[in-house]
Structure 1
Amino acid sequence: MAQTPSDATHVTIIKRKKVIKADGHHGGAWKVAYADFVTAMMAFFLLMWLLNATTEDQRKGIADYFNPSIPVSRVSGGGADGLNGSSLVAEDTAAKMGTGATGVGDGQSKEQSRHTDIARDLEEMRNELGDETESLSEHLLVKMTPEGIVLEIVDSESNPLFELGRSEPTSLMKNLLAAVSGSLNKFENDVKIVGHTDDRPFRGAGGYDNWSLSSDRANTARQLLISNGLPSGRVREVSGRADTDPLVPGEPSAARNRRISITIMTDTAETAET
């Protein structure tokens, strides 16, 4: 065996290993992308559900909330449920079928200002009736439509507006129309009066049905308004729609579907019809 020379120099070699750590499966950017994808899918399925679960009028109300198309400012659409709102002139309520609150209406036209005044008068009338007796104000709803401002006078099981199956008004209906006529006389817009019934079949004889009943009730409302000072020349239309346009679509037999709709025509709607 060969011997190592005593004067030989020993060299120490150090071998370093380069350890590469996995950086969380190539970083965390994929998590952000995945979260965005899941959020987009959730929004998509929510949209699909809304399209399937709402009516055409409700979808229009939602669309008008984001892209207002009715020329009214400082007011919101009043109605009976969440989509239609609860007050026409509440400043702290965003417009749902109008064009916004005070900041938007600073440059409103004379026509828009007049529509705002009409809406405010109707809402003030409703509030005044509520101060006198809640049994009157609960029968009144105010909302916006493409035709104009609609005042709904709705029925109830405990306090009906008309005698059962007849067009004779109750004292409640007379009192309501007497109060309504005062507000209608503050402006000059034409009005449309439409009668509505529920879907219960009329049991009268001689071919008299809900179509005839709703028309007769609308005409009775016209007569009462005229007797309280509304000029007859301002009544543009008197008609009945039976149960074809329920206020509560999910409950066609509900008492609130029995109502009289008084539409205060706006200039936009009047121009479209001429």
Structure 2
Amino acid sequence: MTLPQNGNGATNQRPAESRQSRGETGVSQDTAAASGSGSDTARQMANEAKFDKVQDLLKGHSGESAVSPEILRHVLTRVTDEGLVIELFDLEDARLFMPESPAPTPLLRQLAQLVVTAAQLVENEIAIEGHTRARPVVVQVNPVWTLSMARADAMRNLMQDAGIRSDRMSRVTGHADREPVLSDKMALRNNRLEVILLRSDD
């Protein structure tokens, strides 16, 4: 439908295993050499430099903002072929949304402001993806598709309200429970948002 544990602001070099469209972190030297294009390599290097700057802020290594460790533990980043993925996720003692709802908690509002501060360091287009944990197969009405989409769209609204231009939004997608990060598909940790700063062509 379109419209792993505590982060501590860490960088996760593992790409999402369920994404065939995403490869290993960054672009390998072999791949760059095979392209035979100096301009392609220059674009790749420019993207990596932009992403490094964003990640520094999200890890609390930048002077742009003071980031609380309580906020950073909900954040993981990884660089993929698609771009810089900023993953925001639930923890047992702190949730991004109200239970079974797309209504953001104060925590998510703070995280959205942090992501916007980071995203404003660059001009890349943005994709937002919502994911939810699985429900027992016995539930009569399974909300995972509509809930993941509504939560992704709620994040879009929060980011735009915080200053991100609407024309930077490339897509908003709900993946339901189809791409869990833990083998236990009903684990709370599978409730997450991914904000992706997409690679630019210039």
TM-score interval, smaller chain: 0.7 to 0.9
Which whole-Å CA distance do the structure 2 matches of 1:201 and 1:133 have between them?
A: 35
Paired letter, 2:14: N
Q: 1:255, CA displacement in angstroms?
A: 1.8
Could you tell me which runs of 5 or more consecutive residues in structure 2 were left unpaired when the two chains were aligned: 1-9, 16-23, 33-37
| Structure of higher CA gyration radius | 1
Task: Provide the residue aligned with 1:236 in structure 2.
Answer: 170
Task: Provide the residue aligned with 2:4 in structure 1.
Answer: none
Q: 1:201 to 1:240 in 2, by over 3 A?
A: farther
Paired letter, 2:128: I
2:54/2:121 contact within 8 Å kept: no
Task: Provide the residue aligned with 1:225 in structure 2.
Answer: 159
Task: Provide the residue aligned with 1:90 in structure 2.
Answer: none
Q: What aligned pairs does 1:246-265 form with structure 2 within 5 A after superposition? A: 246-248=180-182, 250-265=183-198
| Partner deviation per Cα, 1:37-60 (whole Å, 9 max, x = no partner) | xxxxxxxxxxxxxxxxxxxxxxxx
Instruction: Give the % identical residues.
Output: 26
1:202/1:209 contact within 8 Å kept: no
Q: 1:214 to 1:202 in 2, by over 3 A?
A: farther
Greater fraction of residues in strand: 2
Greater fraction of residues in helix: 1
SS of the residue corresponding to residue 220 of structure 1 reads helix
| Partner deviation per Cα, 1:143-172 (whole Å, 9 max, x = no partner) | 122222111111111100000000011111
| Partner deviation per Cα, 1:127-157 (whole Å, 9 max, x = no partner) | 2289642211111111122222111111111
1:165/1:202 contact within 8 Å kept: no
Matched pairs, number: 174
1:129/1:136 contact within 8 Å kept: no
Task: Provide the residue aligned with 2:46 in structure 1.
Answer: 114
2:58/2:72 contact within 8 Å kept: yes
2:147/2:176 contact within 8 Å kept: yes
Which whole-Å CA distance do the structure 2 matches of 1:117 and 1:226 have between them?
A: 25
- Higher relative CO (Cα under 8 Å, sequence separation at least 6) belongs to 2
2:25/2:81 contact within 8 Å kept: no
Task: Provide the residue aligned with 2:81 in structure 1.
Answer: 146
Select 2:14's aligned residue among 79, 84, 88: 84
SS of the residue corresponding to residue 193 of structure 2 reads strand
SS of the residue corresponding to residue 264 of structure 1 reads strand
Q: 1:236 to 1:98 in 2, by over 3 A?
A: closer
Task: Provide the residue aligned with 2:200 in structure 1.
Answer: 267
Q: 1:125, CA displacement in angstroms?
A: 1.8
Select 1:123's aligned residue among 51, 55, 77: 55
Task: Provide the residue aligned with 1:97 in structure 2.
Answer: 25
Task: Provide the residue aligned with 1:193 in structure 2.
Answer: 128
2:26/2:80 contact within 8 Å kept: no
Q: 1:267 to 1:129 in 2, by over 3 A?
A: closer
TM-score (norm 2): 0.75
| Partner deviation per Cα, 1:29-83 (whole Å, 9 max, x = no partner) | xxxxxxxxxxxxxxxxxxxxxxxxxxxxxxxxxxxxxxxxxxxxxxxx932xxx7
1:219/1:238 contact within 8 Å kept: yes
SS of the residue corresponding to residue 267 of structure 1 reads coil
Q: 1:182 to 1:265 in 2, by over 3 A?
A: same
Q: 1:252 to 1:208 in 2, by over 3 A?
A: closer
